[in-house]
Amino acid sequence: MTVTNRLAEDQTDYLERELGTRAANQILRRGYEYYRDRRVFVTEVVEGNTVYGAVNGSAVYAVTLDTDDFAYSTCTCPFEDYCKHMAAVFFQYIASAGEDAEAAFQRMTGDGEPGGGRERPAASGSSNASNAPNASGASGASVDSPPGHTDGPKAWRLWFEQHYGGVWKQCKHSLHPLQPILQELKGKARNWPKRLQRLHWLHAVAFVLEQVERAYASTDAYNRYYYEMSFTRSVDPWIGNFNELVSELDADALPDNEREWLFFLNETLRDASLNEDYTLLRWDFMYHVLWERMAEVSEWRRSERDKLTALLAEPADGGKPSAALHAALAHLDFREGRNSEAIGALSRTPFERTSLIVYAFAGHCLEEEQFDALAEWLDFIRGRLADCRNVALLRPYLKLCREADVKQPESDRWTRLMTGHLPYAYPELSAHWLERGKFREWADLQLYMGMRPDELDAQDLRIAAKAEPGLLIPLYHQAVDESIRSRNRQGYRTAVKLLKRLEKLYQSTGRGAVWSRYIGHVNRKYSRLRALQEEMKKGKLVT
């Protein structure tokens, strides 16, 4: 369910006033219930003055709300007056536009409590009757007001679950139904103090992501790969928003009432990372992202270590994946400067599961220029990647080595770590040496890997030739010999092209006499290869 464009404020006020005046309170109540039951599929502002919506009632009905003249508003249902579907579309538009639909309902009906605890009537054949369940799956539930900003995270979490805990069931093919939910939940804290608002938003994002996990778990195995790709792309902005909100936290400066929100969020992420039913998202990494902001709170570190140790002591069949627990304890050890203990804890985990966290720790050491600690982490990673042939998995490791070599150029240990992974580290090592201006090492690497000049990037060759042209001469010699050994006309033509480039390199280094002796040697050595002789004559290499 989406909303595109927005009405002007006076247009929204006009719709609220007209609908509130023309529709009976009973109709508004039913419309509000339809909105809360997630029955409005789409709302869209058309031509800047009309709200279009689609509502799932006894059938799917199309609604238009006209802001120029409300009398022209329509619904395709059989009801002959202003109906509950119009009200539902209005409330959904309000919520999707980031405003408070509940407050609008209260203003329109004059009620302090929307729904008033009144039970819904039994279903009938009328288009105004409905026995659909609400978002939590319970039929006949009343619509109650959300908690306040002083009620704490547990009360809000319960309210989230009661009102939106079943929205995942609507995510049959996409996560579109969850986007307006996130907007509505964030809107509940619109007027809160800024820091508390941010904490509320973090809980809202975490709750919606749990809905994603439930939706993914319900998909059939046959289409699981499709849903994994689709859902992952959809949640990337939400996870990015979560990480951005976390980056703005200052856990050590929070008062007790706000720390309660933070500690409860920590528990939520820990439980999610240990939930074996949650297989789509990297909850463990979100858990550790939060720790980045909480690490300075000694009270939290002590309590978290006690909790993690207790969980690890539970029987293995308790449903607690030990990898997440060991990784969490490793984070505590790392933050307290115990790198060896952290590595020991992570050695008990599958590297493919905890590699993001390992790289985060190594990256922190690099950023702080703690080179001995970085070397310890890179040695650990190297052991885990000893037989790795996947360049994509190697790339983060090689990237750390490259950055370390830039920061500590006097040491050769970082490039030694890279050469230890040849040939798979070749692209990264080649690019690194060229960027660092180490042309001799770069040229030697090309020779070692058997690279031909025509296989290298032309710009790279020009850079090396301009800086130290003599270093390229052995590379061209090797390629000439290989081309001639092909014993075919095309190979001979390639050899001639290489020889002409080689001649320029000799001339540019002031070694013209050496070139003359060399080309004479080639001519005599291969005098019986008539095709090669012909190509050399065409290239004016011999007379």
Is residue 249 located within the same domain as residue 178? yes
Task: Write phi, then psi, for 2 (nearest 5 degrees).
Answer: -130, 165
What's the mean pLDDT in 212-229? 88
For the cut 90, the answer to whether the pLDDT of residue 488 exceeds it is yes
pLDDT band at 139 (very low <50, low <70, confident <90, very high): very low
pLDDT digits (tens, 9 = 90+) for 36-93: 888 887 788 888 889 998 888 888 888 999 999 998 999 999 888 899 999 999 999 9
Q: 10 vs 6, which has greater pLDDT? A: 10
Mean of pLDDT over the chain: 86
Is residue 159 located within the same domain as residue 289? yes
pLDDT digits (tens, 9 = 90+) for 360-396: 999 999 999 999 999 999 999 999 888 777 777 789 9
Is residue 29 located within the same domain as residue 89? yes
Residue 238 domain flag? yes
Extract the tokens encoding 463: 């850079």
DSSP string, 180-202: HHHHHHHHTTTTS-HHHHHHHHH
Tally of structural domains, the chain: 3
Query: What pLDDT score was predicted for residue 254?
Result: 85
pLDDT band at 2 (very low <50, low <70, confident <90, very high): very low
Q: Report the side by side order of strands in the sheet with 50-56.
A: 40-46, 50-56, 60-66, 74-75
Residue 483 domain flag? yes
Query: What pLDDT score was predicted for residue 132?
Result: 35
- Find the helix or strand (DSSP H, E) in which 42 lies: strand 40-46
For the cut 70, the answer to whether the pLDDT of residue 507 exceeds it is yes
Task: Write phi, then psi, for 74 (nearest 5 degrees).
Answer: -140, 160
Query: What pLDDT score was predicted for residue 317?
Result: 52
165-200 burial: b if 16+ Cβ within 10 Å, else e: bbbbbbbeeebebbbbbbbbbbbbbeeeeebbbbbb
Query: What pLDDT score was predicted for residue 116?
Result: 38
pLDDT band at 455 (very low <50, low <70, confident <90, very high): very high
Sorted by sequence, the CB contacts under 8 Å of residue 477 that are 6+ apart come out as 502
For the cut 50, the answer to whether the pLDDT of residue 130 exceeds it is no
Is residue 156 located within the same domain as residue 280? yes
Helix (H, G, I), strand (E, B) or coil at 320: coil
Is residue 105 located within the same domain as residue 158? no
For the cut 90, the answer to whether the pLDDT of residue 5 exceeds it is no
Is residue 197 located within the same domain as residue 271? yes
In whole angstroms, give the CA distance from residue 236 to residue 282. Answer: 11
For the cut 60, the answer to whether the pLDDT of residue 4 exceeds it is no
Residue 261 domain flag? yes
In whole angstroms, give the CA distance from residue 210 to residue 265. Answer: 13
Tokens 């964030």 locate to: 186
Is residue 95 located within the same domain as residue 208? no
CA 429 to chain centroid: 28
Least confident of 249-258, 361-370, 474-483: 249-258
- Which residue range is the domain that position 518 belongs to? 458-538
Residue 399 domain flag? no
In whole angstroms, give the CA distance from residue 308 to residue 313. Answer: 9
In whole angstroms, give the CA distance from residue 536 to residue 502. Answer: 14
Number of C-beta neighbours around residue 114 at 10 A: 24
Query: What pLDDT score was predicted for residue 127?
Result: 34
Q: Which of 79, 109, 139 is the last residue of a domain?
A: 109
Query: What pLDDT score was predicted for residue 416?
Result: 93
Residue 51 domain flag? yes
pLDDT digits (tens, 9 = 90+) for 174-187: 888 888 888 888 88
pLDDT band at 143 (very low <50, low <70, confident <90, very high): very low
For the cut 90, the answer to whether the pLDDT of residue 237 exceeds it is yes
Is residue 92 located within the same domain as residue 158? no
Query: What pLDDT score was predicted for residue 1?
Result: 47
For the cut 70, the answer to whether the pLDDT of residue 526 exceeds it is yes
Is residue 35 located within the same domain as residue 159? no
In total, the chain counts a number of residues equal to: 543
DSSP string, 110-142: --SSTTTTPPPPPP-SSTT------TTS-TT--
pLDDT digits (tens, 9 = 90+) for 12-21: 999 999 999 8
β-bridge partners, 155? none
Contact yes or no for 491/534 (Cβ under 8 A): no
Q: Which of 262, 294, 326 is the last residue of a domain?
A: 294
Query: What pLDDT score was predicted for residue 158?
Result: 92
Percent with pLDDT over 70 in the chain: 92
Residue 91 domain flag? yes
What's the mean pLDDT in 437-453? 94
Extract the tokens encoding 460: 């790279």
Is residue 157 located within the same domain as residue 288? yes
Residue 210 domain flag? yes
Q: Which of 43, 76, 109 is the last residue of a domain?
A: 109
In whole angstroms, give the CA distance from residue 542 to residue 530. Answer: 13
Residue 410 domain flag? no
What's the mean pLDDT in 145-161? 89
What's the mean pLDDT in 117-134? 33
pLDDT band at 315 (very low <50, low <70, confident <90, very high): low
pLDDT band at 169 (very low <50, low <70, confident <90, very high): confident
